[in-house]
Structure 1
Amino acid sequence: EKLADAEAMLKLMKAEIRTLAPPDKDQWQQRAKQIEARLKRAQLIGNKSDPVRGQSKAVNNPNDEIAASAQRQKDMLLEAKRQLEETEQVGAQTMQDLAKQREVIMKTQQNVSAINQDLDHSSRIMSRMSKWWRG
């Protein structure tokens, strides 16, 4: 029964691994293969001992490892979600700041246009005054 639970957890783990990004995915796929090999050994030998390490293993050890791995994955997903939310907040604030800056730029352009018109008008007046003074 515990081996069946461990196999079910391994299937869930493999499903989660498929959603990971490539650098993490390779690492977790390797880990899943190791766990799968241990489960097969446990089924073949009745999980009395681990011939590779030469020590006794408890029946729930693969299950514990899978549960711990699942918990780590859950923690990683929660951290990724937190970072995503933080990034969304930063993005929203940046959009607000950019909108304000756009307004400032638009007002500045309007002011520059008005100043240019005033300068053109002043230049024409100065030109006429200069002609009048020269006579």
Structure 2
Amino acid sequence: MAGPLLEKPIGESKLGRSFGTNWNNWAWGSDGPVLCEICGTKHPKREDDSYIISKFLGMQVVEECCGAILDRVYRESGEEFTVAFLEEFANNPTSPRFSILLMTLNEVCIKAQKAALETAKQLHTVYIKLVPIVDIAKTRT
């Protein structure tokens, strides 16, 4: 290992958990002691809970310590990674590599459709409220 990427812990992932899981599907648990190779922090043995460990750039990450590094990568490159992944999927949609995508895609599309319909309803409500104001303005000019 060349050395830590960061000088100190940057905190746990906030975004990954908001999607219902950890970012890294290579994650596993350990009650320690463990080393976060991202910042060099040595975490002691735990008696009551385990650390969530994953890999990032081949380095061991203690997610509670530096999992936020994955949030940063997502914010900076998430869209590009998504486009590349979907292009791969389009070229080989039956590959086992895309089994999680196939399980998730229908659910995500249904959620997006519901959100779009809700937005359309809200816009329609605002439009209905604005029409009388526009009509009044027309009669005054």
Point out the structure with the larger strand share. Answer: 2
Point out the structure with the larger helix share. Answer: 1
TM over 0.5, yes or no? Answer: no
Could you state the TM-score of these two structures normalised by the residue count of structure 1?
0.34
